[in-house]
Amino acid sequence: MNNIIKKVNKKKPFLFAAGGIFILANLFAVLFISQERFIYFWDFITYWSKYVYLNEHFIGDTVNALETVFWSVREDNYNYLAACPLIPFGLLFGTSRLAYILSVVNIYALPAVYTLFLVHKKMVGDGKNTPLVIFLVTAGVSLLSPDLWNPILFGFLDVGGVLLTNLIFLLYLKNPYSKQRTRDLLLIAVPVALLVLFRRWYAFWGISFYFVLFLEIFLTAVLTRPIDVKQLVTNLLKLVAEGLVSAVIFFAAAPTLAKRILGTDYTDLNSAYRRSENYFQSFEVILQSFGLLYFSLFVLGSIAALINKRTRKFAMFILVQSLVIFVLFARTQDFDSHHRYLLLPTVLLFASLFLVDLFGKIKNLKLSALVGTGLAALFVLNFLTAFGPSKIGGPRKTYPEVFTNIRHQPLVRNDFNEIEKMLTVLTQLLTDPDDKVYVLASSDTLNGNLLNSSWMNFPQHRNICKRVLKTSDIDIRHGFPRDLMKASYVLVGDPIQYHMNPKNQRVVGVPAGLFLEGKGIATSFEKLPYEFDLDSNVKIYLYKKIKPIPDADAAALSEMLKQYYPGRENVYKIKE
């Protein structure tokens, strides 16, 4: 008993520090999300809606909930698997937006930070710095990173992938590869497969991990004299077996998704979203997001880790892996905020490593406190630049290149009454069970997914929200707006509502223009005496179908779209 008390007393500072960090992280999330008044849509709601569904059905309808998870993993790009670990939190604290964000913070983000500390600790070994110092620096650098929080506050749960990658690294660092047993290799292969099932774009991490592992095995053998051919072959066979286990798990769990991934040209599919034209521009996007503060510490930490014999091998591994990830991913698409989780742990790890090493070399306590205070101030300023009140302009205006370019204020819209009025009118008008409404708008102000999801803000209108047709928003991705042809009612924005370059949204702009001008397919509809005034001075008009759309008018719309995409049948072909 006395030994237990001694151990607890010894760990008291660590426990107090962890408790304080836990409270501060949750407090920030609560204060931020509590200020929001928004109707979430698209990626902002994707996993929140899955979290809500699983918590609503897990207790009373467990079998159907599990079937939904199973089939979604097999077939869907956005499956329910990632939301499953959040179920206990939802059962305890509910399914509100705040509860969902807090579930991501506590189930994924904080454990990700803790496991990053364990990786840092394992990497440096039993050095002169105490675990408490390593923990405080790693946690501080991580939780003050805008790039860690930005996707979470938007409703993404992709930070859970960071937790998995950290666990994989901990298993990798357990023993040299030649001494890894079969059980150890399986323990690595399984989470690599889970990582890709969690979010498909983490496949870039898994592929790069095995590629760099191959390089490590091969180069270690070649650079060692004499070359142990038998050991090289053994290690390569282990690697092949490990990779095959990951592949078999993934293909067995998600055969339809795997087939789709292999048959899809994601470079073409994501071309509408792409802003970077080359690797330099892709790097610039990442650099501006991280800011020079974090990037400079990352560079200094990388140099220090490469110089240190103890940390050199692992440092080379993750630096080469990050380079491979960057080259492969940037070739395919831009790094959006959540995609930066592929690179963020490496940046945070080396930044933390440099700071721990720096404080270890400063012998003067006062100087150490002064340096620590100055660095803490910079991290806080960087954090406030991203998430602080909009009136904080100093660091943004004076030293913009030092700090992150992320600007994320709580999401607020001021037209809730108009959205509710719109839903009420639709409820009154859509009396026939076959009546459906199409939203011919694709902006943050109004889009089909926004109206379809608005029942989460207005639960009394849940039924009418489910009668919103699926919309075509992006030419290459969604193609011809076939469901528009089936609509009984159409909502049209004035001015025409886009969320990206209009040249990539002709399937919205062309038919919307016809409605506003009363031409083509719009002649089969009549404009009703309703007008909804939304944010950003957007007016929404409502049209009712009064006769079937003539084939000639549908063909004319098809021809108009064909002018822009003569080689893409899916954009202009009326029937699938």
User: What is the DSSP code string of 385-396?
Assistant: HHHS-TT--HHH
Compute φ and ψ for 468, nearest 5 degrees.
-85, 125
What does the block give as tokens for 133? 């110092």
313 pLDDT band (50/70/90 cuts)? very high
pLDDT digits (tens, 9 = 90+) for 275-302: 888 999 999 999 999 999 999 999 999 9
pLDDT at 304: 96
3-state secondary structure of 306: helix
Compute φ and ψ for 565, nearest 5 degrees.
-135, 65
pLDDT at 283: 95
For residue 83, pLDDT beyond 70: yes
Q: H or E stretch including 544? A: strand 538-545
Q: For the chain, what percent of residues have pLDDT higher than 90?
A: 81
pLDDT at 275: 86
In angstroms, rounded to a whole number, what is the distance separating the alpha carbons of residues 487 and 291? 47
Compute φ and ψ for 27, nearest 5 degrees.
-65, -40
Sequence-distant (≥ 6) Cβ neighbours of residue 102 within 8 angstroms: 26, 29, 30, 89, 93
pLDDT at 397: 47
Neighbours of 15 (CB within 10 A): 10
Q: H or E stretch including 427? A: helix 416-429
pTM: 0.94
What does the block give as tokens for 47? 């996993």
Q: In the predicted model, what is the mean pLDDT of the chain?
A: 93
What does the block give as tokens for 536? 């950003």
Q: For the chain, what percent of residues have pLDDT higher than 70?
A: 95
Closest CA to 387 of 363, 360, 354, 411: 411
Sequence-distant (≥ 6) Cβ neighbours of residue 129 within 8 angstroms: 356, 357, 359, 360
For residue 4, pLDDT beyond 80: no
pLDDT digits (tens, 9 = 90+) for 378-412: 999 999 999 988 655 444 444 457 899 999 999 99
